[in-house]
Amino acid sequence: MTCLCCGAAVTPLDAALTKKFVNRGSQTYYCIGCLAKKFAVSRALLIEKAREFQRAGCALFAGLQL
Ligand SMILES: [Zn+2]
């Protein structure tokens, strides 16, 4: 699985972030770098958000190493 935008390998975290921020039902994904660019935020902020969603019990982020 590769990023729709840049072709980089997509990690489970990238897939979860794409589902959370772009389209819950998405079968194609963006890497975290392209998501950060798309939303004009830092990668660190996206990871921080992922940790927040995980703490809140969001199933998309369950079991990910963050
Ligand atoms: Zn990308």
Give the pLDDT confidence score for residue 59 in this predicted structure. Answer: 96
pLDDT per residue as tens digits for the range 7-53: 999 999 999 999 999 999 999 999 999 999 999 999 999 999 999 99
* Centroid of ligand 1 to alpha carbon of 21 (angstroms): 15
* Centroid of ligand 1 to alpha carbon of 5 (angstroms): 5
* Centroid of ligand 1 to alpha carbon of 8 (angstroms): 5
3-state SS, residue 22: coil
* Centroid of ligand 1 to alpha carbon of 2 (angstroms): 8
Give the pLDDT confidence score for residue 21 in this predicted structure. Answer: 96
User: What are the boundaries of each domain within the chain?
Assistant: 12-61
Question: Nearest 5 degrees, angle CA 13-CA 40-CA 28?
Answer: 40
* Centroid of ligand 1 to alpha carbon of 24 (angstroms): 18
Distance CA(19)–CA(22), nearest Å, equals 6
Query: Which amino acid is it at 5?
Result: C
